[in-house]
Structure 1
């Protein structure tokens, strides 16, 4: 079966530094897959290569079997590859209604003009409402994003990515900075993502990784160190030495 997302011999060098070292990786369709590794392992570089933010020094990126290695980020989004960021990229002055509406309209080719004909664009409003309900944002749709609790902002960013109707969704540390009291809603929203969306989670929070992932890949020094089920990876003494053990210090 064709993978949802795949890399073959992916490399990235910055001068004499190898940040991504010949990574061959496969994200299956419908996957719940986590990518973990110590600080400096190259996780962000790898995600930037997948999404087109960085051009590789070598290797190939395939989305559902199609070569997207040289496509720009916006073209990858149109083909069904979406992401969130470690630090949210939201517009603080907009409301969630406007932000989700913009994402839906961009997907449909309307861009910033969606709101001008809001009264005649019921399909867009219906989709905004459905996305907001899925991510628990219905009660704050009219509030400025800058005033929202940080957990709600993280949920909104996932909602915006989801509104692009991706077939592959990359979640880059969605729990980063979220207070403990708000984490349950975020974990529930991630767990409830539909199976037709293949998900790669990049995360330091091992509780989230172990509760969400069915398969885990470990990146160390830019190279794929090991991969397996949650049980295999969590009990691997080499992984505990290079990653889990580090978190205990």
Structure 2
């Protein structure tokens, strides 16, 4: 078993409030791993620590066995760790073509003159076209992002994260705010990613979680309650009591 991402005894406090409590997680390479829990469980705080937005008070974060606890955000991206946000972090006046072009060019070290290289480098153009196709954005590639349906905006943000060529992708509620009819499309695109990309998903839609994840960790009050394959977690009486309710989950 190869571990792609790991936390060891992670702790985070805001004043006297412990938001992450002695959290130890192991995300296997190639996994489709979900982190679930009730509102206020500390899931986004964990993601923010993993990506360097927040610094833990104690504990360690390992990416492919290397300690990244003290690395800044941009260096974690360069190491192969990418993320999306609960609320889109996109340029509203750029098109999907321009947004993905900027992301690809930035990864290649040409962010300052991306608009020149988009039209002159076949490798860059090919990668942009591939991402637009895979994320179903070809039909809106020349429209300003602010005008796109919200589902398309979410797909664009994931495409931008993938443009960084991550080996570990963190998705913070990618289907939040997306109409029901489009939610499964988003997870289907993510599920189709090659297995050399490890995915850690935070999501409140349990249908999506149980159809997508091959392993689930349940967080309550910043601490790990239980983890295991979806069918095991669905039957766990503690999970039903604190998060899913008493009604059984169909998997």
Structure 1 gaps of 5+ residues are none
Give the drift of 1:244: 0.6
Residue 123 of structure 1: how far off its partner (Å): 1.1
Moved over 6 A (4+): none
**Secondary structure of residue in 2 paired with 1:158:** helix
Compute the displacement of 1:150 (Å): 0.3
What is the Cα deviation at residue 120 of structure 1?
Answer: 1.5
Partner of 1:76: 76
How high is the TM-score relative to the length of structure 2?
0.96
Q: Deviations over 1:46-104 (max 9, x none)?
A: 00000000001000000000000000111000100000000000111000011111111
C-alpha deviations, 1:170-227, integer Å up to 9, x for none?
0100010001222232122122111110000000010110010000000000001100
1:107-138 per-position Cα deviation (integer Å, ceiling 9, x unaligned): 11111411123331221111000011111111
TM-score for both structures, normalised by structure 1: 0.97
Aligned residues: 248
CA deviation profile, 1:130-152 (whole Å, cap 9, x unmatched): 01111111111111000100000
**Conserved? CA contact 1:2–1:65, under 8 Å:** no
**Alpha-carbon deviation of 1:246?**
8.5
Say whether the 8 Å CA contact 2:80–2:166 is kept in structure 1. Answer: yes
- Equivalent residue for 1:111? 111
CA contact (8 A) 1:95 1:145 kept: yes
Could you say what secondary structure the match of 1:119 adopts? coil
Q: Any stretches of 5+ residues in structure 2 without a counterpart?
A: none
C-alpha separation in 1, matches of 2:118 and 2:25: 43
2:154 aligns with 154
1:83 and 1:169 in contact (8 A); partners too = yes
SS at 2:231's partner residue? helix
Superposed, which structure 2 residues align to 1:1-249 within 5 Å? Answer: 1-245=1-245
